[in-house]
A and B are shown apart, each in its own frame.
Chain A
Amino acid sequence: MEKPIISFKDFSFQYVSQAEPTLKNINLEIYPGQKVLIAGPSGSGKSTLAKCLNGLIPNEDHGEIHGSCTINGRAITETSLFDLSFTTSTILQDSDSQFIGLTVAEDIAFALENDAVSRAEMQQIVDKWATELNLHDLLNHSPQELSGGQKQRVALAGVLVDGSPILLFDEPLANLDPVSGHKTMQLIEQIQAKTNATVIIIEHRLEEALTCPLDRVLVMSDGQIIADQTPNELLRTDILPNAGIRPPLYVEALKAANVDLTKIPDLASVQKLPVLPEITQALATLKGSTTLSNNETPVPQLSLENVSFSYSAEQKYPLSNISFTVNAGDFISIAGQNGAGKTTLVKLICGFLQGSGKITWENQDLAQTSIKERAEKIGYVMQDPNQMISQKMIFDEVALGLRLHGITDENEIKQKVAHVLKICGLYPFRNWPISALSYGQKKRVTIASILVLEPKLIILDEPTAGQDQQTYTEIMQFLQELNEQHGCTIIIITHDMHLMLEYTKRALVFSQGQLLADLTPVQLLSQTELLKQADLRQTSLYHLAQKYQLADTDSFIAGFDQLVHQKGEHHE
């Protein structure tokens, strides 16, 4: 029998700084050439497991090890980081900050440079992988200029030059739009077929990750492996939702419609589902209303007229002639590929940048107002909470805006901060240091610190990017509550088609500096050409509806959403 390339035996690991082990009693064998997905919510230990595979544990992150872990026949405790890097190649989560070289070519060559390979040989190898991954036209570009999918290709080329037997992907989809995510999974599949490497993917976005055929899915929870099955087996169980991981949408829909799963031989993808009348009938029972209940006449709040901006004369796609109106109580999503001008637009609205055209707030021109004055009406939550947080304690962070606005009455501050913290579900933590919070909680602190200034409109830049199911639901339900119960107008920048459908009522679609469309997310779903231009992708739910030829796709999706929401509220 073939020997496993990765083998954990009764393995436990406890970080020096932690009171409890992060990995508990792991027993795992992975054989050469297998494609394995490791899924788990934040804090389940999946990243720690990855660090054992590439040698960051125990070489960089120290801690106590029990049991054994051997990679390619060598114990990790006796292998240096450098030696192990020939066995395991790692593609890190944040491809933006892992680029070292100034140009694509240089970045691909980085490992070769460190191995002191001669220049001529280096050029040959770079050339080979650039051809393989279709990067030839980009070799002299800076990696930072590329689109999300191109960045992943460069990162991949940079480790493929090693020819390692194990390829480890740490959340490869976290920062990608759905189209790039899908392409990345295809690329992984293609490279695996070519190199026959063992592929380990750490990811919790199963909707996209499972589009690539996988041999096994491991589910981690609380430091342990709670499932190790084929996708087909796993998707039949309730292990994923119970562990806080969202199964692919089509599986959720099949379950919600009470389809008899034993009738389906292969559940791993929409394409492989059998077309049976009983499934069609069951799915057809999912029906929801697609008409918006809001019949009030819209009250215009924020208006843009022919707003344009360019950073420099050479900019390829400057923001040009953007006009739209946001009404009070709207819940809007702004979508579009990277570089479409979404963030620039928000910066113009907040006054961080000055462009041409007219921006009005409740019919008053904003041209002469300062950033500070605009912020009293329009709050902006940046994508990275670390760029917003400047205080040590939660209370002080939220109170900062009030204090800067000249409120000196500590009682008033206390009252207002307490009120906002309660809305955000952070009141029990009010005296905690911010460093003790999870990412999702930090995000809520930044929302609270904006909310305390009582803006009527809040703009959030990708509030759920890279979040697991629980944090995602937490943030989105909180925003929905703000919108419905506190009358706050909300605009979010997002790539997530399902998020748009599930929560927002209106979508603005951008591409190359232009506003292409202003419509409801349901309308957007059926416009294939528009979706393509904005790098959006229909969810598996849509494909499911198409496959079973459900008469009214919109109503089916709405019905599914309403059912999922009811369940969600039921749980609480």
Chain B
Amino acid sequence: MNNQNILGYQPQDSFIHRINASAKLFFFLVVSIACMTTFDTRFLLFVALFSVALFKTAHLKWQQVSFIVKFIIFFSLLNLIAVFIFQPTYGAQLYHSKDVLLSAGYFTVTAQELFYLANVALKYFCTVPLALLFLLTTDPSSFASSLNKIGISYKISYAVALALRYIPDIQTAYWNISAAQQARGNELSKKASLMTRLKGMVNIIVPLIFSSLERINTISTAMQLRRFGSKKKRTWYTQQPFTKTDFCVVALAICLFLTTLYLFKLNHGRFYNPFN
């Protein structure tokens, strides 16, 4: 209902918004891969700070992302705890040393294990802001054209873009249907028990699915009548020519990736070991 709460592209004018979508996608993919592979803390720290700083410059509002960020934090914490439970000694093995901080049998906490977990957590800080940044600052059509440019079939690219575009529409439809249901006595607030609320949700989902299917039907007819899919290739109206800035963005991504390779050599492996 409220525009601010919608997770999706919001047109704005910022440095990040202006970067070519293909350059942005390239940067996001390459830097994410770099962060996935390396465990060099210095590098991760740098990229994490850099991502958060970028996020700031895009003038995004916290409300837009608060839900998804909380959601991700919850699951990353869950993941970290699971990693610890499965093998509390993994850090010690990796860094070939063992400084016990808290002795508790199987669950003995070592400085090495904490350091390892901190590295894993840092990876989230590197990639999540970048991913959100990309989604929120790239309009779906440019997104589709950039996917197509990196070699993905244009039909799939367009399908992804359309799906992204309809998220706000579906959210609005959801609110409307939900309000109409509540007006007929379908209690969805916290006053009702969980079971009642779940049952009540079904009454919203059904019309939501049917109205969405109808929309999909109309749009696919409209697309076919205007020859979508008639040729092997298509051009993109929104495709922007590369500017100097865009080349810089690509170059920066490549530099960051090369840095990880250099660090690979320097550290004799993926891990930076401060315990030696």
Q: Is A102 touching B139 in the complex (CB atoms < 8 A)?
A: yes
| CB < 8 Å neighbour of A115 from B176, B231, B236 | B231
The CA-CA distance from A405 to B202 in the complex, in Å, is: 17
Kindly state the separation between the CA atoms of A119 and B176 in the bound complex, as whole angstroms. Answer: 40
**Which A82-106 residues have C-beta < 8 A from chain B?**
82, 85, 90, 92, 94, 97-102, 105-106
Of A99, A100, A102, A312, the contact of B2 (CB 8 Å cutoff): A312
| Contact between chains at A106 and B238 (CB < 8 Å) | yes
Q: How large is the interface on A (under 10, 10 to 19, 20 to 34, 35 or more residues)?
A: 35 or more
Q: Give the CA-CA distance A371 to B234 in the complex, in Å.
A: 49
Which B residues touch A401, using CB under 8 A? 184-185
Q: How far is the CA of A106 from the CA of B235 in the complex (A)?
A: 11
Query: Smallest distance from the beta carbon of A135 to chain B beta carbons, Å?
Result: 15
Asked if B244 is at the interface of the complex by the 8 Å CB criterion, the answer is no
Given contacts A102-B140, A311-B3, A386-B214, contact A352 B179 (CB under 8 A): yes
**CB-contacts of A465-515 with B (<8 A):** none
Pairwise interchain contact A109-B225, C-beta atoms closer than 8 A = no
Residues of B near A353 (CB, < 8 A) are: 1
The residues of A that contact B186 with a CB separation of less than 8 Å are: 404
Residues of the B chain whose Cβ atoms lie less than 8 Å from the Cβ of A400: 184, 203
Would you list 10 pairs from A and B whose C-beta atoms are within 8 A, ordered by A residue?
Answer: A114-B227, A312-B4, A352-B175, A372-B185, A387-B173, A387-B177, A390-B181, A401-B184, A401-B185, A404-B185
Q: How far is the CA of A111 from the CA of B162 in the complex (A)?
A: 16
Q: Which of A60, A97, A100, A350 contacts B183 (CB 8 A)?
A: A350
A126 at the interface (CB under 8 A from B): yes
Closest chain-A Cβ to B74's Cβ sits at a distance in Å of 29
Residue of A92, A115, A371 with most partner-chain B CB within 10 A: A371
Assess A106 versus B203: contact at CB under 8 Å? Given A100-B222, A387-B177. Answer: no
Closest to B215 in A: A97
Q: How far is the CA of A94 from the CA of B182 in the complex (A)?
A: 28
Complex interface residues of chain B between 197 and 248 (CB less than 8 A to chain A): 202-204, 206-207, 210-211, 214-215, 218-219, 221-231, 233-239
Decide if A375 touches B2 in the complex (CB within 8 Å). Answer: no
Please tell me if the beta carbons of B225 and A90 are within 8 angstroms of each other in the complex.
yes
Q: Give Cα distance in the complex from A94 to B233, angstroms.
A: 29
A122 and B235 contact, CB distance less than 8 A: yes
User: Is there a chain B Cβ closer than 8 Å to A117's Cβ?
Assistant: yes
Chain B nearest Cβ from A312, distance in angstroms: 5
Note all chain B residues with C-beta closer than 8 A to A329: none
**Chain B positions 131-148 with a Cβ under 8 Å from a chain A Cβ:** 139-141
Binding site for B on A (CB under 8 A): 54, 56, 60, 81-82, 85, 90, 92, 94, 97-102, 105-106, 109-119, 122-123, 126, 158-159, 311-312, 347, 350, 352-353, 370-372, 374-375, 379-380, 382, 384, 386-390, 400-401, 404-405, 449-450, 453
Q: Which A residues lie within 8 Å of B206 (CB)?
A: 390
Give Cα distance in the complex from A374 to B180, angstroms.
12
Q: Does B165 contact A (CB under 8 A)?
A: yes
Bound together, the chains give a CA A82 to CA B225 distance in angstroms of 7
- Quick check: B227 and A82 within 8 Å, CB to CB? yes
Given contacts A102-B165, A387-B177, A401-B184, contact A97 B141 (CB under 8 A): no
Known pairs A110-B237, A404-B184. 20 more at Cβ < 8 A?
A60-B224, A85-B226, A92-B218, A94-B218, A102-B140, A102-B165, A115-B231, A115-B234, A116-B231, A116-B234, A118-B235, A122-B237, A123-B237, A158-B226, A312-B3, A371-B179, A371-B183, A387-B177, A388-B207, A390-B203
Task: Determine the residue in chain B with the shortest Cβ distance to A108.
Answer: B237
Give the docked Cα–Cα distance between A92 and B234 (Å): 23
Alpha-carbon distance between A384 and B202 when the two chains are bound, in angstroms: 19
Q: How far is the CB of B63 from chain A (nearest CB, A)?
A: 11
Smallest CB separation, B172 vs chain A (Å)? 10
Would A372 and B182 count as touching, CB distance under 8 A?
yes
| Nearest-CB residue, chain A, relative to B158 | A100
Question: B227 contacts A380, CB within 8 Å?
Answer: no
| Contact of B226 with A114 in the complex, beta carbons under 8 Å | yes
A382 to B184, CA, bound (A): 13
- Chain B residues touching A, majority SS: helix
User: Chain B residues near A117 (CB, 8 Å)?
Assistant: 235
Q: Are B185 and A82 in contact (CB under 8 A)?
A: no
Q: For B218, what are the chain A residues with a Cβ–Cβ distance below 8 Å?
A: 92, 94, 97-98
Contact B236 A113 (CB under 8 A): yes
Partner of B176, one of A118, A370, A382, A453: A382
Are A389 and B207 in contact (CB-based, < 8 A)? Answer: yes
Q: Does B187 contact A (CB under 8 A)?
A: yes
Please give, as numbers and ranges, the residues of chain B lying within 8 Å of A119 by CB-CB distance: 235-237, 239
Bound Cα distance from A371 to B165, whole angstroms = 30
Bound together, the chains give a CA A450 to CA B238 distance in angstroms of 46
Q: What residue of chain B has the Cβ atom nearest to residue A375's Cβ? A: B183
A347 to B178, CA, bound (A): 12
**Chain A contact residues, majority secondary structure:** helix
3 smallest beta-carbon distances between A and B, as pairs = A404-B185, A375-B183, A98-B222
Complex Cα spacing A81 to B210, Å: 26
Cβ-closest chain B residue relative to A350: B183
**Nearest Cβ distance between residue A84 and chain B, in whole angstroms?**
9
Is A384 within 8 A of B211, CB to CB? yes
* Residues in chain A near residue B175, CB distance under 8 A: 352
CB-contact partner of A350 in B179, B189, B211, under 8 A: B179
Q: Which residues of B contact A118 (CB under 8 A)?
A: 235
0/1 per residue, B141-175, Cβ < 8 Å to A? Answer: 10000000000000000000010010000000101
In the bound complex, CA of A436 to CA of B222 (Å): 26
Identify B184's interface contact among A90, A98, A158, A375, CB under 8 A: A375
- List the B side residues contacting A382 at CB < 8 Å: 176, 180
- The reply to whether A388 and B180 form a contact with Cβ atoms under 8 Å apart is yes
Q: Tell me the smallest distance from the CB of B223 to a CB of chain A, in Å.
A: 6
| Residue in B214, B225, B229 whose Cβ sees the most chain A Cβ within 10 Å | B225
| A-chain residues with CB within 8 Å of residue B177 when the two chains form the complex | 387-388
> Nearest Cβ in chain A — how far from B241, in angstroms?
8
- A543 and B73 alpha carbons, distance in the complex (Å): 67
Chain A residues, CB < 8 A from B211:
384, 386-387
* Distance in angstroms between the alpha carbons of A450 and B207 in the assembled complex: 17
A98 to B217, CA, bound (A): 10
How far apart are the CA atoms of A94 and B219 in the complex, in Å?
10
Other-chain residue from B140, B210, B225, B236 in contact with A85 (beta carbon distance below 8 A): B225
How far, in angstroms, from A380 to B187 measured CA to CA in the complex? Answer: 17
Complex formed: what's the CA distance from A118 to B180 in Å?
A: 47
Cα A449 to Cα B186 in complex, Å, equals 13
Chain A positions within 8 Å of B1 at CB level: 311, 352-353
What distance in Å separates the Cβ of B206 from its nearest Cβ neighbour in chain A?
A: 5
Select the residue from B140, B162, B180, B228 with max chain A CB neighbours within 10 A. Answer: B180
Chain A contacts for B221, CB-based, 8 A: 56, 60, 92
* Cβ-neighbour of B229 out of A102, A114, A386, A450 (below 8 A): A114
**Chain A residues in 8 Å Cβ range of B228:** 100, 110, 114
Known: A92-B218, A390-B207. A109 touches B227 (CB 8 A): no
B226 proximity list for chain A (CB < 8 A): 85, 100, 110-111, 114, 158-159
Out of A100, A116, A405, name the residue touching B185 (CB < 8 Å).
A405
B202 CB to nearest chain A CB (Å): 8
Contacts of B181 in A (CB 8 A): 390
The answer to whether A126 touches B227, judged by C-beta atoms less than 8 angstroms apart, is no
Provide the bound-state CA to CA distance between A453 and B186, in Å.
13
Residue of B nearest to A109 (CB): B237
